[in-house]
Structure formats: structure tokens, C-alpha cells
Amino acid sequence: MDLYGRDLICTQDWSFEELMAALDLAAKMKRDRFNPRWTRILEHRTFIMFFYNPSVRTRLSFEAAMTELGGHAQFMTPSAGRFKTQKQAGETIEDAAKVMARYAAGIGIRILEDKVPYYGAGDEMLREYAYWADVPIFNMADDKFHPMQGLADVMGWAEWYGEGPGRPDYSALEGKKFVLTWASGALARSWCSVQEALLVASRFGMHVTLAYPEGYDLDPEVIAQVRQNCQERGTDFEVVHDPEAGYEGAHIVYARNWMSPNAYRDGVFHKQEEIEKALQYPEWILTAEKMARTDNAIFTHPMPVDRGHEVTDEVASGPRSAIYDIAENRLHVQKAVMALTMGNL
């Protein structure tokens, strides 16, 4: 399958077969991590990492991925240049994208909630870079989607219900119940990770339950796509607004805080207001008592975990927590995607 030159901004942009090509290669790379057949795929090539927002896992995993493929990851922030914004003159996206593409074999961009004036602006920016650049553009998390996290998530779930690390069984996910629940929290998180999780869970044949308090609706277009994915796979999709509902029969539970649709007003992200509002719902923390009502479910989270608000330590550090396996998988899926799109495998 030829994926050379492809952008990855949302998993929904790739066919199921294309996602599987990347996931299958990621599993091979995980099983045989330092095999010489991988270490020269991107030799002498540069990957630009453009960070509007910081990250531990994203920066470290992309740098490690490029190193293990024989290439180099170059870190960049907006302060390193003079970029045009709504409030200041500077270099346009067209010019920046075309110049960066002359230097690098691929470009990754991370831009989240507090760096955009309205929901969707970050995703729009990535797609404009993709329009102008003639090298792959990778979404390292924007305000709508987080495709590398989604791939790491589904790989981790399939390993837990498969034969273990590096041996995922994606068919084992079919018919499983996936519960995504809003959680209290002090971080006012964007929708990117949870929306990506809903998309991949629904595409891989899982029954999906979405739980959140009234007033915390996600993007209606994304939810419509999740419903369509479930319809195409013949699975159920339900929404509940009770913090105690939905856990019965669950196989995977994902608890994470996210902001409300009212977070942006007058071009400003009201972060502190979102935090104060979210902390008024302590009943929406994931506890061992709630997990006990599941079908021995695993706990999943993209990290960083807001322990004590989103989930208790007993669950996050418990024997059925998949968080570290999934964090590791960021490295492997990113290696696979970069090898396929930048290395012409």
C-alpha cells in the first residue's frame, strides 16, 4: 500500500485498510524495535516539530522515532519566527509551509485550545499547511483531533485483548463495549484526544457509550461521524448524562476531562472559568467502585492524568491500567506512519 506523501490530520481521513497498514507495521517495529531494517529508513532526513503547545510524550516520542529511523527531529516554536496572526503582521502560512518543505521530509504541528481564538482554528491551520506544503503534515494534536494518540490507543486496546505487547488482535475489539466518560478536572482540556478515541473505537467495531454532564457536548459533526461509523459496523452508540450509568458490561473505560462548548467567547479561551466549573462535578471521577461494575475493563487515558480529579490512583495505577503501554505505543505508531509516508516503504 502506497502511503508516501500522505498527511495525517485525523484518522477518519485514512481508510480502514490504510490505518491497518500503519498499525501492522507499528507492531512489527515494536516487536523488533532496533532491527537494522528500520534504522536507515529516514537516514539523513529531517522532521520539523512545530510546537505551539508543549508536551512531554509528543516531543520525546517523535524525537525518539526519528532517531530510531535514522533521521533527525528539529524542534521549533512560534517565538523562533515572525508568523502572521490576527493581531500582528508576519509570515503567512503559505510562505512558511513552502519554505519548511524545502528543508524537511515532514512537518508536525501541535496547537491546542489556548493558542487559538475559536474552536477549530487549529485544525484549519494544519489543513492550510497541508494545502501549501508538498511534504506530509502530521497532526501532533490540534483543537479537534489527535490521530497519533488515536492509533496508539487502539493498538494498546488490541494488545490487551490480544496476545500482549507487540501482538495486537484487532478482531478481538469487535463487539467490545467502549465507555468514554467526562471527568472532573483542573486542566480545561481540549476535545482532540476524546474525539479521536471515539472515532477509532467506532471504526474498529466497538459498541460506544458516551457519558457526560449536561452542557459538555462534543463537536456535533464528529459525533455524527461516530454514529455513522457505528451504523456501518452494526454496533450501538448511546449517550448518557448520569455519572453512575453506562459501566455495566464495559471492556474499556476512558475517563478524561474536556472543556464545554462555551469555552471560547470573543476570541478568548476562558480557561480558569472552565476549570472552576469542572471542579463542581466531583461525582464524575472514575473510581474502583465504578470499574467494579464493568466486565473487568481496562482503564485507558492519553496522559497526563489529572489524578484525584479525573480518576483515582487506585484505578490509574491498578493492574488493569493500560496508560503506560499506550504511551509507549505513541513511539511505535509514529515510527510506522513516518516510515510509510516519508520513507516510501
- For residue 275, is it within any domain? yes
pLDDT at 86 over 70: no
Same domain, 297 and 153: yes
Burial status of residue 88 (CB atoms within 10 A of its CB: 0-12, 13-18, 19 or more):
exposed
Domain harbouring 85, CATH code:
3.40.50.1370
| Nearest to 302, CA basis, from 137, 134, 183 | 183
C-alpha 235/C-alpha 198 separation (Å) is: 13
Same domain, 168 and 295: yes
Same domain, 293 and 160: yes
C-alpha 138/C-alpha 331 separation (Å) is: 14
- pLDDT for 84 equals 62
- For residue 283, is it within any domain? yes
C-alpha 143/C-alpha 193 separation (Å) is: 9
What is the number of structural domains in the chain?
2
Question: pLDDT-based confidence at 80, cuts 50/70/90?
Answer: confident
Same domain, 158 and 219: yes
What digits encode the pLDDT tens for the residues 94-117?
999 999 999 999 999 999 999 999
Same domain, 158 and 197: yes
C-alpha 165/C-alpha 157 separation (Å) is: 10
The reported pTM is 0.96
- One-letter amino acid at 71 equals G
C-alpha 317/C-alpha 191 separation (Å) is: 24
* Cell 474502583 belongs to residue: 288
What percentage of the chain has pLDDT greater than the value 70? 99
Same domain, 177 and 119: no
- For residue 89, is it within any domain? yes
Domain boundaries, position 98:
11-144+327-342
- For residue 5, is it within any domain? no
- For residue 2, is it within any domain? no
What digits encode the pLDDT tens for the residues 18-64?
999 999 999 999 999 999 999 999 999 999 999 999 999 999 999 99
Same domain, 294 and 333: no
Same domain, 245 and 300: yes
Same domain, 177 and 309: yes
Q: Interior CA angle at 141 toward 341 and 319, to 5°? A: 100
Contact 139, 53 (CB under 8 A): no
Same domain, 189 and 163: yes
* Alpha-helical regions (H) of the chain: 16-31, 57-68, 93-103, 121-132, 147-160, 192-203, 220-233, 271-278, 288-291, 313-316, 323-342
* Cell 516531543 belongs to residue: 59
Same domain, 131 and 160: no
Neighbours of 91 (CB within 10 A): 13
C-alpha 287/C-alpha 283 separation (Å) is: 10
Contact 325, 161 (CB under 8 A): no
What digits encode the pLDDT tens for the residues 166-201?
999 999 999 999 999 999 999 999 999 999 999 999
C-alpha 256/C-alpha 239 separation (Å) is: 16
Same domain, 67 and 174: no
- For residue 3, is it within any domain? no
Contact 288, 315 (CB under 8 A): yes
